């Protein structure tokens, strides 16, 4: 049977600074038609993958189906009004609507709201313009959609970027916002991207020695088999909490939990661990003065327990302190890649290092 699926264009958001990593992961997940367009924290790409397949790409923070690309307006003032006016006069194409109705995303009589995003800020437009735009969406393909600003089934976005591009979009995902996450836990999208950067393999002996709520070891389970996955943390309450949260679940069989001081990883024999992916303390909330010394002791432990050629992927906002510590171990670890990102508004970086073969 031939595949009659149409090529659709999607717009997905990711952590700013990680768009190249997102592109690599996207290419491993779906077949693309042509090259994606990459902007800071945003990818625009075409594929025959269905809206459902795109919705499941959880390394993206949000994904949208592109309804129309809009020509940027010239005057900076009133630009969202003009964009909204433009969108109100452009019919949404049948191909996109049938992809949404066939996949069960969009049904007769459902509700929607319009969201206007201008350079990453939510803004409003003139009420009469909004009414015209809502009326145009309501009449789409005879679906009798209704505007509901409070509890809509769907969101239609008008998104304008600093680069001057603008998109008319149907939102496919509703990810947990930072405010809904447990304080101190890493965003799952970042954990997934960090695991990808560790180049997961079936013979991995994987460790997160600062595991906290376990976001990183849990993310590793999405990348296929491994020999062993270890969750370790110095805080007994965190270890107990993780065990309780995942009691009886299959996860308990796949992740080994251990209370351990990452600076003294005596539990592990020399060269046992193939991969460390971790988010160590940044020393802002804890009373830790000597972060460079903390990172030096940490790297000294990692150097001993890691196998040659093994990968270390680490996130920190204490870039200078980490780089000073890494410099001390430059004979043991090669720095492969660095990604500068923002985590909860703080400048941070993901470092990818490899234990050298020769040590």
Ligand X SMILES: C[S@@+](CC[C@H](N)C(=O)[O-])C[C@H]1O[C@@H](n2cnc3c(N)ncnc32)[C@H](O)[C@@H]1O
Binding site for ligand X (CB under 6 A): 184-186, 209-210, 212-213, 215-216, 233-235, 238, 261-263, 279, 281
Tokens of 109: 């009589």
Report how far residue 12's alpha carbon sits from residue 65's, in angstroms, rounded to the nearest whole number.
9
Closest contact distance (angstroms) between CB of 290 and ligand X is 13
Closer to ligand X by CB, 165 or 259: give it.
Answer: 259
Tokens of 73: 């307006």
Closest contact distance (angstroms) between CB of 305 and ligand X is 13
Instruction: Classify strands 166-171 and 154-160 as parallel, antiparallel or unpaired.
Output: antiparallel
Residues 36, 349, 31, CA angle at the centre, nearest 5°? Answer: 20
- Is-contact 298 264, C-beta < 8 A? no
DSSP 77: T
Q: Label residue 17 left, alpha or beta by phi (over 0 means left) and psi (-120 to 50 means alpha).
A: left
Closer to ligand X by CB, 88 or 263: give it.
Answer: 263
Closest contact distance (angstroms) between CB of 264 and ligand X is 8
Closer to ligand X by CB, 85 or 261: give it.
Answer: 261
Closer to ligand X by CB, 43 or 216: give it.
Answer: 216
Closer to ligand X by CB, 16 or 234: give it.
Answer: 234
Q: HEC profile for 84-110?
A: HHHHHCCCCCHHHHHHHHHCCCCCCCC
Closer to ligand X by CB, 235 or 266: give it.
Answer: 235
Give the length of the chain: 359
Closest contact distance (angstroms) between CB of 218 and ligand X is 9
- Is-contact 281 318, C-beta < 8 A? no
Report how far residue 353's alpha carbon sits from residue 194's, in angstroms, rounded to the nearest whole number.
12
Closest contact distance (angstroms) between CB of 321 and ligand X is 15
Taking the mean position of all CA atoms in its chain, how far away is CA 167? Answer: 21
Write the DSSP string, 267-289: TSPTT-EEEEEE----STTTT--
Closest contact distance (angstroms) between CB of 298 and ligand X is 8
Closer to ligand X by CB, 3 or 236: give it.
Answer: 236
Closest contact distance (angstroms) between CB of 71 and ligand X is 42
Instruction: Classify strands 42-47 and 32-39 as parallel, antiparallel or unpaired.
Output: antiparallel
Crossing angle of the two packed helices 188-197 and 19-29, in degrees rounded to 10 = 80
Closer to ligand X by CB, 79 or 175: give it.
Answer: 175
Closest contact distance (angstroms) between CB of 87 and ligand X is 39
Q: Which neighbouring-strand residues pair with 338? A: 351
Closer to ligand X by CB, 143 or 194: give it.
Answer: 194
Residues 204, 208, 214, CA angle at the centre, nearest 5°? Answer: 115
Cβ-proximal residue to ligand X, closest one? 212
Closest contact distance (angstroms) between CB of 153 and ligand X is 31
């Amino acid at each position: 049977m031939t595949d009659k699926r149409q090529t659709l264009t999607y717009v997905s958001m990711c952590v700013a600074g990680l768009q190249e990593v997102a592109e690599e992961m996207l290419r491993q997940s779906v077949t693309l038609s042509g090259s994606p367009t990459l902007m800071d924290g945003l990818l625009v790409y075409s594929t025959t993958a269905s809206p459902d397949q795109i919705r499941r790409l959880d390394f993206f923070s949000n994904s949208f189906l592109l309804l129309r690309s809009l020509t940027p307006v010239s005057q900076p003032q009133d630009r969202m009004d003009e964009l909204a006016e433009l969108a109100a006069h452009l019919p949404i194409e049948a191909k996109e609507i049938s992809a949404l109705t066939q996949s069960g995303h969009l049904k007769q009589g459902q509700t929607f709201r319009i969201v206007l995003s201008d350079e990453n800020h939510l803004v409003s437009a003139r009420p009469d313009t909004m009414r015209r735009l809502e009326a145009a969406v309501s009449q789409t393909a005879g679906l009798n959609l209704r505007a509901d600003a409070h509890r809509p089934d769907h969101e239609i976005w008008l998104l304008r970027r600093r680069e001057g591009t603008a998109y008319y979009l149907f939102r496919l995902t509703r990810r947990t916002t930072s405010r809904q996450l447990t304080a101190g836990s890493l965003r799952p999208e970042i954990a997934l991207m960090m695991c990808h950067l560790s180049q997961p393999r079936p013979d991995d002996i994987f460790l997160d020695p600062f595991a906290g709520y376990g976001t990183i070891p849990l993310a590793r389970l999405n990348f296929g088999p491994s020999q062993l996955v270890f969750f370790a943390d110095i805080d007994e309450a965190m270890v107990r909490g993780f065990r309780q949260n995942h009691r009886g679940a299959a996860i308990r069989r796949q992740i080994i939990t251990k209370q351990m001081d990452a600076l003294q990883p005596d539990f592990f024999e020399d060269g046992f661990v193939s991969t460390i992916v971790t988010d160590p303390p940044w020393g802002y909330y804890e009373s830790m003065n000597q972060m460079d010394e903390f990172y030096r002791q940490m790297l000294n432990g990692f150097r001993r327990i890691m196998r040659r050629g093994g990968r270390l992927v680490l996130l920190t906002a204490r870039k200078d302190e980490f780089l000073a510590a890494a410099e001390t171990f430059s004979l043991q670890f090669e720095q492969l890649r660095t990604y500068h990102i923002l985590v909860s508004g703080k400048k941070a970086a993901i470092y990818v290092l490899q234990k050298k073969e020769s040590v």
